[in-house]
Amino acid sequence: MLIGITMGDASGVGPELVLKAFVEGSLKGDFIVIGDYSILEYCNNLLNIGASLHPIEELSQYKKGVLNVFDLGLMDQSDLRIGQVSKASGYAAYKYVEKATNMALEGTIDAIVTLPMNKEATRLSFPNFTGHTELIAKICGQDKYTMMLASDKLIVTHVSTHVSMQQAIAAVKKDRVLDVIKLTHESLSSFIDKPKIAVAGLNPHAGENGAFGREEIEEIWPAVQAAQEIGLDVTGPIPPDTVFIKAVKKEYDAVVCLYHDQGHIPMKLLDFEGGVNVTLGLQVIRTSVDHGTAFDIAYKGIASSKSFINAYNFAKQLIGDKI
């Protein structure tokens, strides 16, 4: 088993998170960091972290007991703009993910764990970039996927993510909602026996029988009904102002959410530091931290590595390795 960790945007907290987690002994098993050796070396020295770094250009150079850095040579210290939107770091972060995804597709790594990118920085080179999830899906050539956010407090999946509210509403269609229900059930079934899934409503009070919108009647309920007909334990649409408290009380194992913030707000309120981002439906395993680049605290040595460690351990669980 070999996990590939992408370094994330060099201007943010990604480099220090992986260095600190390695020194603390929190990353069990074999892994490589896909990024720039010079940036990690600089961060290591600046913060006096004390990680033993080993640059490699091919996997045959891998060594035990050190932090192996698959060095893409895209940035050095002169390119670094700590805590700032940087075209150089945005471009490099994209290339780290591209490389990791191709390695996973080739079978040279077994899973990808991503550290945070900055969308604004990456869009300076790739204007259509919307996020890790969409980029990895594009490289894999797949269009049926979804984002899951998971912690021991709540699990949510999403019908849409990085789109406008207008586009998110337009995306609430029976087939898409049904696809996300199925992906959620498939993922939960790997560690929960007979998972129970709730589907949130889109409108206040889940539309209240059409009084506040017809999406629940015309798109969401038909998807729930179709899922029930194939034997899935699914309930909905449930009013979005009550569905999450029911899930927290363990009435449901996960909530299918209709748009980005519907799922992200309760997750980040309940477990901002510990949540894990998982992409479902792809032919590669990918988990991620559930936070951004945190430019305001980058290279200060105070960023929490909890979400990163959880993401790493969740990736191991998904590939069947003991944590």
Comparing C-alpha atoms, which of 179, 229, 249 is closest to residue 238? 249
Quickly list H helices, the chain. 14-23, 37-46, 87-106, 119-123, 132-140, 165-170, 174-188, 215, 221-229, 243-248, 260-271, 306-318
33 has which bridge partners? Answer: 5, 69
Stated pTM of the model: 0.85
Burial 148-173 (b: 16+ CB within 10 A, else e): bbbbeebbbbbbbbbeeeeebbebbb
CATH number of 1-142+282-323: 3.40.718.10
**Contact partners, residue 240, CB within 8 Å, separation at least 6:** 200, 201, 202, 204, 206, 258, 262
8-state DSSP, 303: -
Q: Which two tokens stand for residue 99?
A: 């490389």
- Which residues make beta-bridge pairs with 34? 6, 70
Assign domain 145-279 to its CATH superfamily.
Answer: Isopropylmalate Dehydrogenase (3.40.718.10)
CATH 3.40.718.10 domain residues, the chain:
1-142+282-323, 145-279
Show pLDDT as tens, one digit a residue, over the chain (323 residues): 899 999 999 999 999 999 999 999 999 999 999 999 999 999 999 999 999 999 999 999 999 999 999 999 999 999 999 999 999 999 999 999 999 999 999 999 999 999 999 999 999 999 999 989 889 999 999 888 999 999 989 999 999 998 999 999 999 999 999 999 999 999 899 888 999 999 999 999 999 999 999 999 999 999 999 999 999 999 999 999 999 999 999 999 999 999 999 999 999 999 887 888 898 998 899 999 988 999 999 999 999 999 999 999 989 988 875 43
How far out from the chain centre does Cα 131 lie?
A: 9
